Amino acid sequence: MNPQQLELKIGWLYPTLMSTYGDRGNVICLQQRAQWRGISVQIIPLDKQSPATQLHQVDIFMGGGAQDRQQEIVMRDLQGMKAEILSEKIEQGTPGVFTCGAPQLLGHYYEPALGQRIEGLGLFDLVSKHPGDNARRCIGNVVFELTASPLAQELQAMLGTVPTVIGFENHGGRTYLGKVQPLGRVVKGYGNNGEDSTEGAFYLNAIATYSHGPLLPKNPFLADWLIQKALTQKYQTKISLSPLDDAIATKARRAMFKRLALKVT
């Protein structure tokens, strides 16, 4: 298909309440990488005042991090029809990238440092708990190998290699996975809980991660995987993306790996 005929709608969950640590950069990265290829993009902010039916239009979801208090406000809004449509879309394979506070809300529950347990959507088989304000926050650069299937295999086919992911984490909550597969295996940093070396989760075409960065500009191959998935899903035909010049991103990644004394690509 001619890229000029393609359109991508990015649904940005609660941009005013959930966009800490630069997660907005994930939206900008998806938008730019699509537009550079001639694909038109529409960004749909999905805020408290947005009608639930808007969720139907979304081709890729982006949910960023938040403080515990904002997460509680969001979860009070993300009920009923909104929760149903979001769950239905993810179950149908709509891709998404959900960072830090967002996946905590897509799991079974999140227990904040203070106050009541916040019930989540239960889409990801995981639970998150904050061990209390006295516990150390998990802060710093995080590096992980992608292990999730078929994501890793699809990246291998797209790029001839499975690049290592680099990001930055800042969370108090610890996530414990049930049957859902992890997104990756931690090489440096804490990941889900600092105990079991798992990082994030991967369910159908949805990526959950503790990695801010923001994630996508630092790891543009993930942005391309999301765009390709979304278009293939939407137009029901295999769509391949033209390559972009990622020399600057590659240089930035190399500089970070060097700083962290890691020999990775």
Identify the CA nearest to 8 among candidates 244, 234, 237: 234
48-77 residues near ligand GLN, rule: CB under 6 A: 65-68, 71
Whether the CA torsion 106, 58, 168, 22 is positive or negative: it is: negative
* Cβ atoms of residues 128 and 173 within 8 Å: yes
Q: Is 56 a catalytic residue?
A: no
141 is a contact residue toward ligand GLN (CB under 6 A): no
Catalytic one of 29, 138, 171, 212: 212
Q: Residue 54: is it exposed, middle or buried by C-beta count within 10 angstroms (0-12/13-18/19+)?
A: middle
Q: Is 171 a catalytic residue?
A: no
142 is a contact residue toward ligand GLN (CB under 6 A): no
101 is a contact residue toward ligand GLN (CB under 6 A): yes
Nearest-CB residue for ligand GLN: 65
Q: Is the peptide bond before 150 cis (omega within 30 degrees of 0)?
A: yes
* Cβ atoms of residues 187 and 262 within 8 Å: yes
Piece of 74-82, 145-153, 167-175, 242-250 that binds ligand GLN (CB under 6 A):
167-175
129 is a contact residue toward ligand GLN (CB under 6 A): no
Contacting residue, 13, 17, 39, 100, with ligand GLN by CB under 6 A: 100
Binding site for ligand GLN (CB under 6 A): 20-21, 65-68, 71, 100-101, 130, 170-173
